[in-house]
Structure 1
Amino acid sequence: MHGTPHTVADVMTRTVVALVRDTVFKDIVKAMGRWHVSALPVVDGDHRVLGVVSEADLLPKEEFREGDPDRYARLRRLSDLSKAGARTAEDLMTAPAVTVRADATLAQAARAMARGKVKRLPVVDADGVLEGIVSRSDLLKVFLRDDEDIAGEVRDQVVAFLFPDPVEPIRVTVRDGVVALTGRVRDTSIVPVAARLVRAVEGVVDVDCALLGPPRRPDLDPDLPGATPAGGADRDLPAPSDSHR
């Protein structure tokens, strides 16, 4: 129903700096500084991703530089101690790497980052060959979408689909990514569905849904003159007399 969602291929960086297994510690630090990145993928001779070296993998060398930790710390941080003595990318990298495919949606990439607790993901093909890098900031680019563009998709893909015959026209306004819906619809049971679908539109920050049902008709007191009894018929009212003709 919605327009085609953006994928990782739409936002990823295709020019990628990668390390090979035997890249030495100082060259890794230099590469990170030169390219202003906090992590670099490690690849084999066929450019398949083997792992990732991040700043967190490098820090133990400085942390434990002045001496060995106590026995408790050694037991608790065996991996960090191993990296403190590492010299090459192969020994430093975290493996296997958390990766993502280019055709994954931005939501799927965001979930992978959250589960892996990483800031950047290598983008690979079906054979694990490196194709690019996607970062947190890349995933947030969708929120730069123009408000009017968002409003147009909400009108065409959500409102027109769910409410083709509203009681009164539904107004869609968007400001800073926040969508507001106002108007009256015939079936209020699908209003929560509308809010959920609008929230799923790319670039939407939040939804203010104020859709109402049809206006209620006041119940007339049957004792009032001119009131129509239940059923709407006037057959119980006395017929007009000749004197009133």
Structure 2
Amino acid sequence: MMRGLAIAFAFLTRLPTPKVAWDARGQAASLKWYPAVGLMLGLLLALLAFVLYRLPSLPVAVVVFTAWVLLTGALHLDGLADSADAWVGGLGDRTRTLAIMKDPRCGPAGVMALVTLALLKVSMLTALPSPWWLLLPPLLARGALVGLVLTTPYVREGGLGDGLRGASATTCRVAIVLTMLGALCFGMTGALSLLIAVIVAGAWRVACMRRLGGFTGDTAGAMVEMIEAAVLFGCLLR
């Protein structure tokens, strides 16, 4: 159990973690811990924002966003950029889309996706009513990752996410339920955020199934970033 937790933190964050054997079984066991990783990320960001609350909102937002990127190692931002380039340059073709995703270079669509997302997140962080709402975006985004893996084929043999296909469906469903209950603890804002996360995840899954017949690590990362931004926006609607 602890090996799966350590692998989840090592894969999704840049936080110090114990060295453990990283194999397919361990990776599969890590999936159910993804929401816990999201909750920890949200807690760290909320604490940072709380400590800096006396400063002007814009500098605080920039610092929190920078910490967000550093804590995750820009893992999901890379997926967003690759997905944007592939979706635009793939011209609707599955093979071309997958090939562009493997290209390490970042094209104009990827750059614009990153800039747009950064502007959206920073602007919404400046207006966030309470730092504790920062618990919701990372939690719901990584809970959605569990649902994506359970319901969607992984299309790259031998890719980073290949080992996740062996995850226990039962324990992962429990993790999803706990994620939903955790969101509902935030009242109407949590319920709205949960609804937004489900809609964004569902829409992106449909797009991935139509274009690729499944998902890749890049599209999973893109989904995380889109859900986080959308949930932040939802927190402003309270």
More helix by share: 2
TM range, smaller chain:
under 0.3
Q: Determine which structure has the larger strand proportion and give its number.
A: 1
TM-score (norm 1): 0.21
Which of these two proteins has the greater Rg computed from alpha carbons? 1
So what's the TM-score if we normalise by structure 2? 0.21
Where relative contact order (Cα < 8 A, 6+ residues apart) is larger, the structure is 2
